[in-house]
A and B are shown apart, each in its own frame.
Chain A
Amino acid sequence: MRAQRAGRQLHGGRLTYAVLTVFTAGSLFPLIWTAVAASRTNTRLAQTPPPLWFGGNLFRNLKIAWTDANMGTALLNTTIVAGCVAAGTVFFSTLAGFAFAKLRFRFKNLLLTLVISTMMVPPQLSVVPLYMMVAKLSWTDQLQAVILPTLVSAFGVFFMRQYLVGALPTELIEAARVDGASSWRVVWHIVFPVARPAMAVLGMLTFVMAWNDFFWPVIALTQNGSPTVQVALTGLGRGYIPDQSVIMAGALLGTLPLLIAFVVFGRQIVGGIMQGAVKG
């Protein structure tokens, strides 16, 4: 009885389910309706009442979006960008996180504070010189222009540090040291295996973030060069193709890969966000 009244043990009542269902429906509806609109024609979308169920035009619209709006290239480019950014962030963050969690060196706390404080700097503050740099190197419209500036992340360093402080036993490192292992060997044979769960979570979070990155790619890349999905969608929204059902097909194509990832890895992504929240 007492345990039951203790707040969090309580089972949700009917009202709880009802409110959560309404909220969930609100969260999912715009996504489902994207698919509905993508399966209709432009004419049907310009009629009242708006369509509430799927029509038969999905494949035609997907095909137009794929070829005319460059979505095929854009999807490939985004996969490359998000993959590189996620891999780089995970690798560098694990190295730095390990150093901050378990190694002794001078100015450690000062440097860690510095890493965290870089999170406060808004991206707008560096976008003008970044653009000049990229223009000078003739990197406009090339993927490294959007990969390199986001290859490290302060959040990632902090996330890995917090994980390794608790998960990596110091005795394990000391034992390897006694056996004469170099620091690099310790990283390869002890740190990476121990950190694997956190690396997977950080990799997924970074991939989602890089996939959806908007501000800098829109400035550095163009629709006709090598766009990411977000840049291609921006072109669609600006009336590059004035057919609303094709625009929705493009939006669907750009979102679908992440939605599939959410269905497969949803539990881990949710766990990662909640874990980062408690420790951060």
Chain B
Amino acid sequence: MASDTTAAVPSPTPGQESTAPGRADADERRSRRYRRDTRWSPYAFIAPFFVFFAVFGLFPLLYTGWASLHQVELTAPNDMTWVGLRNFSRLLSDDFFWNALRNTFTIGLLSTVPQLLIALGVAHLLNYKLRGSMFFRVAVLTPYATSVAAATLVFVLLFGRDYGMINWALGLVGFGHVDWQNGTWTSQLAVSTIVVWRWTGYNALIYLAAMQAVPADLYESAALDGASRWQQFRHVTIPSLRPTILFTAVVSTIGATQLFGEPLLFNGAAGATGGSDHQFQTLGLYLYEQGWVNLHLGRASAIAWAMFLILLLIGAVNWLVSRKLRKGMTS
């Protein structure tokens, strides 16, 4: 394409010096090249995305489906034995799979709901005229710059049973020591806290952007009608934000189904089991355990497809709910 560029520019000058038929010839050639360029270059510009996606996204996606129908071991990935749907039927009677599914669901709920509610409140506050508003916005976003690994390692120390700061603070107000790593609910709450800490500020900024796009006269007319600030928030802000709230709910749900790093590192010694009793093993972690600890790549692929089907189900429910909501608004 670079040679096209250099060739296209100097051509008018020699064209002018030549005889009339020669110039027409050059014009003809130039317009043909021009037509070819405008016709194909759009495809050339979007091609890299599709080529990379085909190789590193679509092909693996389909191949995972193929591998899930085989027995494959990590030690010999090219030795595939056809087993049909056995990997899937095995999952259905696998207690650890159901345990991981249940944990993913409860941790997802414990992290997504508080995260979005707090973000909404913080966004509302950030939407006031503030001194140092940029400081607050950047500060609120800093946890987003922290990696899963760094954040989890810090929280492991903070949630320590004997010397952790959280138990120390709880002790000051008269609570006993909580064993954050070994209890089912307590460990899931602790893992959720890491997620909430990292993503609340990010969501708050997304809500803030949507709030600033709400037309001011909506508030003015509500104020003229005598609506209090709380009523304005409920009847003007929330309805205007509904698409954004739905968007963040979908994104956080997708994130929650893929939870991996936090439970992997929350009990570093236990590794991929997600606690001594699998009490905070998520689906993502179970996939990793099956594939890279127990070396069963076929089973790991089946778990991956199960996760995908669950995501599709969530997507369908979401779509139905949002359609209901929209209908409810118009009627």
- Bin the interface of chain B by size: 35 or more
Indicate if the CB atoms of B157 and A183 lie closer than 8 Å. Answer: no
Give Cα A45–Cα B247 distance, bound, in whole angstroms: 42
Q: Is the CB of A237 within 8 A of B5?
A: no
For B46, the chain A residues whose CB sits under 8 A away are: 95-96, 99-100, 111, 115, 157
Question: Do the beta carbons of A126 and B150 come within 8 Å of each other?
Answer: no
Are A30's CB and B42's CB within 8 A?
no
- Report B198-218 CB contacts with A as 1/0, cut-off 8 Å: 001110011011111110110
Known: A99-B42, A120-B311. A20 touches B48 (CB 8 A): no
A-B contact count (CB 8 A): 345
Residues of B within 8 A of A130 (CB): 56, 60
Interface residues of A in 158-215 (CB under 8 A from B): 177, 180-185, 187, 208, 211-212, 214-215
Main secondary structure of the interface of A (DSSP, over half): helix
Q: When chains A and B are docked, how far (Å) is the Cα of A258 from the Cα of B144?
A: 10
B64 touches A20 (CB 8 A): no
Q: Which of B145, B205, B308 contacts A255, CB < 8 Å? A: B145
Is A76 located at the chain interface by the 8 A CB criterion?
A: no
Number of chain A residues close to chain B: CB under 8 A: 112
Main secondary structure on B side of the interface with A: helix
**B163 and A273: CB pair below 8 A?**
no
Please tell me if B236 contacts chain A, counting CB pairs below 8 Å.
yes
Binding site for A on B (CB under 8 A): 1-2, 4-5, 8-9, 12, 30, 34, 37-39, 41-46, 48-50, 52-53, 56-57, 59-61, 63-64, 67, 77-78, 118, 122, 125-130, 134, 136-158, 162-165, 168, 197, 200-202, 205-206, 208-214, 216-217, 219-220, 222-224, 229, 232, 236-237, 244, 247, 254, 257-258, 260-261, 264-265, 268-269, 271, 284, 287-288, 291-292, 297, 300-301, 303-305, 307-308, 311, 315
Q: A residues 202-260 with Cβ under 8 Å of B? A: 208, 211-212, 214-215, 218-219, 229-230, 233-234, 236-239, 244, 247-248, 250-252, 254-255, 258-259
Cross-chain contact A258 with B60 (CB below 8 angstroms): no
Complexed CA–CA distance, A254 and B38 (Å)? 46
Q: Closest CB of chain B to A1's CB: distance in Å?
A: 10
Question: Which A residues fall within an 8 A CB radius of B?
Answer: 2-3, 5-12, 16-17, 19-20, 23-24, 26-28, 30-31, 33-34, 37, 45-50, 92-93, 95-96, 98-100, 103-105, 108, 111, 115, 118, 120-133, 135-136, 148-149, 151-152, 154, 157, 177, 180-185, 187, 208, 211-212, 214-215, 218-219, 229-230, 233-234, 236-239, 244, 247-248, 250-252, 254-255, 258-259, 261-263, 266-267, 269-270, 273-275, 277-278, 280
